[in-house]
Amino acid sequence: MQFERRTERAMTNSEIKRTQHNPMENNQEHVQPVIQEEADFVAKTKKYRKQLTTLFIVVAIILIAILAWFLVRQSQAAKADQAIALADVEQNDSIALNLYKEAATHGTKSGDRAKVEAAIRLYKAGNYEEAVKYLDEASASDDIVAAGIETLKGDCYVNLQNYDAAIKAYEEAISEADGNTQLVPLILIKEANVYREQKNYAAEAKAYGKIIEEYPAFGQGSTDIRKYYERAKASAAE
């Protein structure tokens, strides 16, 4: 009986030893996930750091490009201003034209002004087609200047006997002039003259009639507008 009890006690102790866990094994079980989490965190940090570095490089490149563009624009504007300043005081039209053409190559507001100035001199010299090219490339934020560009373009087309294109340009000029009481009537007179060349007397009368009805103060004291209006009406009735 004593042997059996000792055996039972021994077996119990052996079982107890087997069932007991090593504290180091427990620590390893807890430490391993922590180590993995730290490794994942380091990997993610490196990934994000790489992405941020790439982003900073891209932003820096964009900023450098914008700065370079700004400096180029400033340089172009300075060159255009210098050429225009010389052209404005130049007495020789041919030299002035070349200076304006040089300034017109720069895509700036000064360049736009140079295009118009070049077109004016080309128009005076009878180079209407080339003048139109410069006018087509010119732009203006001011309504009156924009209307002037289209009016000069219409004048060029009249001299080229392209009357349909002239009417289109004059209509655009009227739209840009936005009801200006001095400019719109003048453009309408030009338009009326083109209609007369086309023998479109009804349209001519309509143009003069618009001046009389919408711009009565224009040419006040002069009977010419009404006289031309009556003449166009009579021609249309024939």
Domain positions in the chain: 32-139, 150-238
pLDDT in tens, 103-145: 888 767 788 889 999 999 999 999 999 999 999 999 888 999 9
Instruction: Give the whole-number percent of the chain exceeding pLDDT 70.
Output: 63
Pairwise pLDDT comparison (172 vs 65), residue with the higher score? 172
Q: 32-139 and 150-238 share one CATH topology? A: yes
Query: Are residues 138 and 150 in contact, defined by beta-carbon separation less than 8 angstroms?
Result: no
Question: Pick from 51, 104, 61, 58: which is nearest to 80 by CA?
Answer: 104
Does residue 70 surpass a pLDDT of 50? Answer: no
pTM: 0.66
- Cα separation, 123 vs 126, in Å, equals 5
Q: What is the mean pLDDT of residues 176-203?
A: 96
pLDDT score of 2? 47
The whole-number average pLDDT for the span 42-65 is 60
pLDDT for 183 beyond 90: yes
* Among 102-106, 164-168, 187-191, the least confident range: 102-106
> Chain-wide mean pLDDT for the chain?
79
> Which pLDDT belongs to residue 68?
43
In this predicted structure, which of 16-20, 179-183, 210-214, 225-229 has the lowest mean pLDDT? Answer: 16-20
Pick the CATH number of 32-139 from 1.10.1760, 1.25.40, 3.40.50, 1.10.1330: 1.25.40
What does the pLDDT read at residue 12?
52
| Contacts with 120 (C-beta within 8 Å, 6 or more apart), sequence order | 131, 152
Q: Where are the alpha helices (DSSP H) in the chain?
A: 2-19, 23-89, 93-104, 109-124, 128-137, 143-159, 163-177, 183-197, 201-214, 224-237
- Which fold does the domain 150-238 belong to in CATH? 1.25.40
Helix 224-237 and helix 183-197: axis angle, to 10°? 30
